[in-house]
């Protein structure tokens, strides 16, 4: 297995207001994401999802620990790796005075693989006009443009931070199709995508990464989670359980392979899992 | 055989069954019921993924499992076809086994709703009659 994204003990702390207390934004994150995985990054607001992405990309320096993208250290990525990365930040990072086409031209001047025709086709599919200046676009259209730009050079590794939050359901479907259709190389692309729209993620992810309070709670293949994870009533924490929640009289998240009596319990949606992991 | 349609499958991501398993079970049912016969083409991985906005790897995984099971064959230049020796299940027992998960779900819900077995059986009969009228 080739690892596309790796983190070891990645930690970042932040000073909290006036107090001297330092609060963990990322808490000793260990992570190994295999090449070709499509990973949904899921957690409540403030769980550390955006910070994790920024640290993985080397845009923010961790207090401790290290990260690697495509085998190279995040804080010293060579151009050969940068060319293979695509990233769309939560707040689209665009040049206000440039049109979509001008953004693509700028990209084509830097990246060798920019596929202008493919990008135009994707824009058309998402119902985005490339002729308008970025500062005249709605937030939804700015997000679409950021996604078109992140995909234009056929990156091997794509990091998307809440890319679809402002898109309507039809555009979201088209966006998910584009994740796979905009691929010219035979090897599948590795994708890390954060979103609160979990029913969208359920369609496309191979893995899901649950974060809470700066920690990785669970990193699992989604098919495996659907088939094997169940909730059972439990008054107390059990060492065999993956997680214990005191809500609703106590519930334990268990794997039916270790907990056969849970097999009769109903399966959990991604939203169900998020809820139990956050209570 | 008309060109294979990606609409062949009914994919429900919100179900408690993983998507790849939904595809596996539907192909099994279509072959068992004789709707897909030996040599019939399956829709391409790309077409199914595109139609349902799902990950192509998931469709590949389902097709590979069905290939390992001997139900599908990879044919050069065509893609996946139903294997030459794949037979519709003659013994009704095999086909009934494929229906079992759905029946269990209905039974559970009938029990929760306090519906008697006799009422439930009657309702099933009516449902069967109405689907028979729908199909030519």
User: Where residue B53 sits, what CATH number does that domain have?
Assistant: 1.10.10.10
The pTM of this model reads: 0.84
**What Å distances lie between residue A224 and A129, A229, B16, B22, CA to CA?**
40, 8, 11, 14
B78 vs A203, which has greater pLDDT? A203
Chain A interface includes B21 (CB < 8 A): yes
How far apart, in whole angstroms, are the C-alpha atoms of residue A240 and residue B122?
Answer: 45
| Predicted local confidence at residue A259, as pLDDT | 86
From A256's Cα to the closest Cα of chain B, the distance in A is: 14
Regions of chain A where pLDDT drops below 50:
none
Secondary structure E strands in A64-199: 64-69, 72-73, 85-88, 157-161, 190-194
* Total tally of structural domains belonging to chain B: 2
pLDDT exceeding 90 applies to what percent of chain B? 38
Nearest Cβ partner of A202 from B14, B49, B56?
B14
State yes or no: pLDDT of B1 exceeds 50: no
Q: Same domain for B12 and B64? A: yes
By the 8 A CB rule, do A156 and A190 touch?
A: yes
pLDDT exceeding 70 applies to what percent of chain A? 97
State yes or no: pLDDT of B3 exceeds 60: no
Q: Same domain for B11 and B61? A: yes
Q: Same domain for B19 and B64? A: yes
Contact check, Cβ <8 Å, A206/B57 = yes
Residue A31, φ and ψ in degrees, nearest 5: -155, 135
How far apart, in whole angstroms, are the C-alpha atoms of residue A153 and residue A85?
Answer: 9
Contact check, Cβ <8 Å, A206/B18 = no
Q: Is residue B40 part of a domain?
A: yes
* Chain A positions in Cβ-Cβ contact with residue B49 (cut-off 8 Å): 177, 180
Residue A224, φ and ψ in degrees, nearest 5: -65, -40
Contact check, Cβ <8 Å, A180/B58 = no
Contact check, Cβ <8 Å, A203/B56 = no
What's the number of CA atoms in the CB half-sphere (13 Å) around residue A217?
A: 26
The model's pLDDT over B84-122, given as tens digits with 9 standing for 90+, comes to 887 665 555 667 777 787 888 888 888 888 999 999 999
Domains, chain A, in order of start with CATH, read 3-213 (3.40.50.300), 227-277 (no CATH)
How far apart, in whole angstroms, are the C-alpha atoms of residue B23 and residue B51?
Answer: 13
| Predicted local confidence at residue A19, as pLDDT | 64
Q: Is residue B87 part of a domain?
A: no
Nearest Cβ partner of B50 from A177, A204, A266?
A177
Q: Is residue B1 part of a domain?
A: no
Residues 6+ apart with CB under 8 A from B96: none
Give the domain range for residue B101: 92-134
- What residue has token string 């729908």? B134
| Predicted local confidence at residue B2, as pLDDT | 47
Tell me what ipTM this predicted complex has: 0.84
């Amino acid at each position: 297995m080739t690892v596309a994204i790796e983190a070891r003990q990645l930690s970042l702390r932040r000073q909290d207001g006036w107090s001297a207390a330092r609060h963990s934004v990322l808490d000793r994150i260990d992570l190994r994401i295999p090449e070709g995985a499509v990973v949904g990054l899921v957690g409540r607001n403030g769980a550390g999802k955006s910070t994790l992405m920024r640290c993985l990309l080397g845009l923010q320096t961790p207090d401790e620990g290290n990260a690697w993208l495509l085998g190279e250290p995040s804080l010293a990525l060579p151009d050969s790796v940068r060319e293979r990365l695509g990233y769309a930040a939560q707040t689209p990072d665009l040049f206000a005075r440039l049109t979509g086409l001008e953004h693509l031209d700028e990209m084509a001047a830097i990246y060798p693989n920019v596929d202008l025709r493919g990008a135009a086709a994707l824009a058309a599919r998402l119902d985005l006009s490339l002729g308008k200046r970025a500062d005249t676009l709605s937030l939804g259209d700015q997000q679409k443009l950021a996604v078109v730009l992140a995909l234009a050079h056929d990156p091997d590794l794509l990091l998307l931070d809440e890319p679809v939050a402002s898109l309507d359901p039809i555009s979201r479907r088209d966006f998910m199709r584009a994740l796979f259709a905009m691929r010219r190389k035979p090897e599948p692309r590795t994708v890390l995508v954060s979103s609160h729209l979990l029913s969208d993620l359920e369609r496309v992810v191979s893995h899901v990464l649950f974060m809470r309070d700066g920690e990785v709670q669970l990193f699992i293949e989604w098919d495996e989670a659907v088939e094997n994870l169940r909730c059972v009533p439990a008054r107390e924490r059990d060492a065999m359980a993956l997680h214990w929640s005191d809500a609703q009289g106590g519930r334990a998240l268990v794997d039916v392979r270790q907990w056969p009596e849970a097999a009769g319990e109903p399966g959990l949606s991604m939203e169900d899992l998020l809820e139990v992991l956050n209570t | 055989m008309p060109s294979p349609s990606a609409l062949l499958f009914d994919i429900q991501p919100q179900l408690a069954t993983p998507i790849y398993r939904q595809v596996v079970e539907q192909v099994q049912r279509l072959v068992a019921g004789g709707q897909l016969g030996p040599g019939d083409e399956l829709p391409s991985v790309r077409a199914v993924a595109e139609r349902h906005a799902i990950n192509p790897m998931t469709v590949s995984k389902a097709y590979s499992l069905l290939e390992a099971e001997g139900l599908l064959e990879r044919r050069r230049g065509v893609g996946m076809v139903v294997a030459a020796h794949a037979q519709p299940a003659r013994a009704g027992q095999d086909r009934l086994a494929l229906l079992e998960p759905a029946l269990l779900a209905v039974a559970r819900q009938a029990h929760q709703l306090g519906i008697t077995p006799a009422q439930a059986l009657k309702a099933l009969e009516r449902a069967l009659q109405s689907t028979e009228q729908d199909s030519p």
